[in-house]
Structure 1
């Protein structure tokens, strides 16, 4: 199924909310559930990185990481490491939030701060990969995969070799590797190739779409999101009302408007009265 033509319902902001049965691997919730399969997760890493990975272990599923009590908390879709202690963070991204490069930087720093114990040498810091699988072309060049590693601007032959790797997979791009292209095609169109891995992915999505427990979890997440949206909207209305009343008070204090006239004629006079009395 084409990820751009799925039936959906909208929240009050008009944003698409896919019903549980319509979820594909390109949806964050489904991707997280399917990637709980260690074999599929490992194979996906092998396809993206084009190298064998013997074994992975989950650091935590959809890990929430926070370095200090007042720091921004991040929620990672897939957070695993291999036998060499290399860290892999994989994220599914359907919306261009215009800050993905900065987000990868923050994810790298957050992961790094959890890897060394006090007194350990920096040389013990393991390699890390932050991988965003995007349903859009973030850079507009058409590559199926964009790989970034620190390099010297003055001499491109000099690499920093700090162990950090950032990758963006583009579901609308063209890859120079057949296995990656088959994955990209499946992500974008739902096309199941002859690849055993793609068939296993598709089977896993179909099984997940009939999981009653996951359906309930998904619906609860949507309800929670709607609650937070409504709460934010109410807080926004309250702030707007507060600013409006402050503007009225400025007019009253400057003599442009009399308090009596406003209370007599304004539609919101009762609300203003309550606000006015609360300021005394």
Structure 2
């Protein structure tokens, strides 16, 4: 199908309290099917829970992509078909498949598929079996080993070589990297501030239960007297 829309580094941030995301590539074809493509070079874990983040990351990306595609007042059936595609340089399931494709199915009858037109795909560049096109296999070879074997990967390699020599593109890329780093630092600072506030709140609650005065607790926790009084009112 013909591509009639493409956007790179698209930010979706529903509101200031939600976890915003930056999508690598959004593509729409002439049939209004939308594709989100993400490059995954690491199989990251949450260090606090020791669980891999990719499955629920894909769930959240799907939710926010749908959020962005349906405007206020529009009926649900106007949601277009979507594909969330993660290009992984690792085998998440360790089954050797070139591609892992997921749709919703009924557990009581696996032949029943929920026709919500949402598909999640994990492309495994380290795969060894399955049916994929010659171009996709050549793309895997290019990602893994930078080997050009088809006209398709030759086009990719030529484009990358051109972009590397384009000083304007390089400058924009460096500015984008700096902006992303600033955003990460800002997010870390906000997270630290929230954590510190939560810790002070927990300490204040314990001190209230011990009978200390509002004024003393405010001094000990750096909370305002109004905040401590609100906590006291909640406890009573």
TM-score by length of 2: 0.69
Cross-structure match for 1:56: 4
1:213 CA displacement: 2.5
Alignment of 1:19-34 (within 5 A): none
Alignment of 1:179-258 (within 5 A): 179-193=135-149, 195-220=150-175, 225=181
Q: Would you say the 8 A contact 1:144–1:184 is kept in 2?
A: no
Q: Would you say the 8 A contact 2:135–2:152 is kept in 1?
A: no
Measure the CA separation in 1 of the matches of 2:99 and 2:142.
Answer: 15
Gaps of at least 5 residues in structure 1 are 1-52, 244-275
Measure the CA separation in 1 of the matches of 2:177 and 2:106.
Answer: 45
What SS class does the counterpart of residue 140 from structure 1 fall into? coil
Identify the structure with the greater strand proportion: 2
The number of residues matched between the two structures is: 188
Task: Show CA shifts across 1:26-76 (max 9, x none).
Answer: xxxxxxxxxxxxxxxxxxxxxxxxxxx233312x32100112232111101
1:226 CA displacement: 8.5
Q: CA 1:106/1:92 → structure 2, altered by over 3 Å: closer, same or farther?
A: same
1:171 aligns with 2:119: no
Measure the CA separation in 1 of the matches of 2:102 and 2:183.
Answer: 38
TM-score by length of 1: 0.59
Alignment of 1:1-280 (within 5 A): 53-58=1-6, 60-97=7-44, 98-174=52-128, 175-177=130-132, 178-193=134-149, 195-220=150-175, 225=181
Relative contact order: is structure 1 or structure 2 higher (C-alpha 8 Å, sep ≥ 6)? 1
1:204 CA displacement: 0.7
Measure the CA separation in 2 of the matches of 1:102 and 1:222.
Answer: 25
Q: CA 1:132/1:114 → structure 2, altered by over 3 Å: closer, same or farther?
A: same
What SS class does the counterpart of residue 84 from structure 2 fall into? strand
Superposed CA RMSD in Å reads 2.9
Q: Would you say the 8 A contact 1:56–1:81 is kept in 2?
A: yes
Q: CA 1:176/1:106 → structure 2, altered by over 3 Å: closer, same or farther?
A: same
Q: Tell me which structure has the larger Cα radius of gyration.
A: 1
1:84 CA displacement: 1.9
What SS class does the counterpart of residue 76 from structure 1 fall into? strand
Measure the CA separation in 2 of the matches of 1:69 and 1:101.
Answer: 24
1:220 CA displacement: 4.3
